[in-house]
Amino acid sequence: MHRLLEQQTKRFLCNGGFLPPGWDMFLAAVDDAYASADADRKRLESSLEVMSKMLNGLRAELAERQLAEAQLEHLLSLLGTTLESTADGIMALDNGGRLVRFNQRLITMWGIPDDVTAFWEHDRMMDCICAQLGRAESFLARMDYLCRHPEEGSFDMLECLDGRQVECYSLPHPPGVDTVGRVFSFRDITERKRAEEALRREKEEQKALVRKLETAHNQLLQSEKMASIGQLAAGVAHEINNPIGYVNSNLGSLGQYVEELIRVVEAYERAEPALSTPASLEEVRALKQEMDWEYLKQDVRDLIGESAEGIARVRQIVQDLKDFSHVDRAEWQFADLHKGIDSTLNIVRNEIKYNAEVVREYGAIPQVECMVSQLNQVFMNMLVNASHAIGDGSRGTITIRTGAESDMVWVEFSDTGKGIAPENLQRIFDPFFTTKPVGKGTGLGLSLSFGIVEKHRGRIEVESETGNGATFRIWLPVTRADKEPA
> 132-159 pLDDT, tens per residue?
998 889 998 988 888 888 888 888 999 9
Instruction: Examine the domain organization and report whether 474 and 348 are in the same domain.
Output: yes
What 3 state SS string does 299-313 have? Answer: HHHHHHHHHHHHHHH
Which of 233, 241, 392, 242 has its CA nearest to residue 324? 233
Mean pLDDT of the 227-245 span: 62
Note the pLDDT of residue 103. 85
- Strands in 396-405's sheet, in edge-to-edge order, are 356-361, 396-405, 408-415, 470-477, 459-464
DSSP states along 143-194? HHHHHH-TT--EEEEEEBTTS-EEEEEEPPPPTT--SS--EEEEEE-HHHHH
Please report whether residue 286 resides in a domain: no
Instruction: Examine the domain organization and report whether 142 and 176 are in the same domain.
Output: yes
CA–CA separation, 457 vs 452, rounded Å? 9
Length of the chain as a residue count: 486
Instruction: Examine the domain organization and report whether 348 and 459 are in the same domain.
Output: yes
Structural domain for 42, as ranges: 3-80
Q: How many CB atoms lie within 10 A of CB 379?
A: 24
Note the pLDDT of residue 325. 52
71: left (phi over 0), alpha (psi -120 to 50) or beta: alpha
Last residue of a domain, one of 50, 80, 110: 80
Banded pLDDT at 23 (limits 50, 70, 90): low
The one-letter amino acid code at 340 reads G
Please report whether residue 241 resides in a domain: no
Which residues lie closer than 8 Å to 360 by C-beta, 6 or more apart? 341, 400
Instruction: Examine the domain organization and report whether 73 and 170 are in the same domain.
Output: no
pTM: 0.42
Which residues lie closer than 8 Å to 460 by C-beta, 6 or more apart? 429, 449, 450, 453, 472, 473, 474, 475
Banded pLDDT at 300 (limits 50, 70, 90): confident
Q: What is the distance between the terminal CA atoms of the chain, rounded to a whole angstrom?
A: 120
Banded pLDDT at 62 (limits 50, 70, 90): confident
Instruction: Examine the domain organization and report whether 350 and 439 are in the same domain.
Output: yes
Q: Are 297 and 254 in contact (CB under 8 A)?
A: no
The one-letter amino acid code at 186 reads F
Average confidence score pLDDT of the chain: 79
Q: What percent of the chain has pLDDT over 90?
A: 14
Beta pairing, strands 183-188 & 165-170? antiparallel
Q: How many CB atoms lie within 10 A of CB 266?
A: 11
Instruction: Examine the domain organization and report whether 46 and 73 are in the same domain.
Output: yes
Which of 391, 376, 398 has its CA nearest to residue 440? 391
Banded pLDDT at 328 (limits 50, 70, 90): very low
Highest mean pLDDT among 23-27, 173-177, 365-369: 365-369
Q: Are 113 and 128 in contact (CB under 8 A)?
A: yes
Note the pLDDT of residue 465. 84
Last residue of a domain, one of 171, 188, 205: 188
Q: For the domain that residue 423 is a member of, what is the CATH number? A: 3.30.565.10
Q: Are 332 and 397 in contact (CB under 8 A)?
A: no
Highest mean pLDDT among 89-98, 251-260, 302-311: 89-98
Instruction: Examine the domain organization and report whether 360 and 459 are in the same domain.
Output: yes
Partners of 461 in the beta sheet?
Answer: 473
pLDDT at 20 over 80: no
Helix (H) or strand (E) holding 400: strand 396-405
Please report whether residue 253 resides in a domain: no
Q: Are 181 and 147 in contact (CB under 8 A)?
A: yes
Instruction: Examine the domain organization and report whether 34 and 151 are in the same domain.
Output: no
Maximum pairwise Cα distance, the chain: 218
Note the pLDDT of residue 439. 47
Helix (H) or strand (E) holding 219: helix 190-271
CA–CA separation, 67 vs 65, rounded Å? 5
Instruction: Examine the domain organization and report whether 336 and 415 are in the same domain.
Output: yes
Instruction: Examine the domain organization and report whether 103 and 24 are in the same domain.
Output: no
> How many distinct structural domains can be found in the chain?
3
pLDDT at 397 over 90: yes
Q: Are 27 and 5 in contact (CB under 8 A)?
A: yes
Which of 367, 377, 384 has its CA nearest to residue 327? 377
Across 88-129, where does the E strand assignment appear?
89-93, 99-102
Which residues lie closer than 8 Å to 432 by C-beta, 6 or more apart? 442, 443, 444, 447
Please report whether residue 311 resides in a domain: no
Please report whether residue 318 resides in a domain: no
Instruction: Examine the domain organization and report whether 395 and 449 are in the same domain.
Output: yes
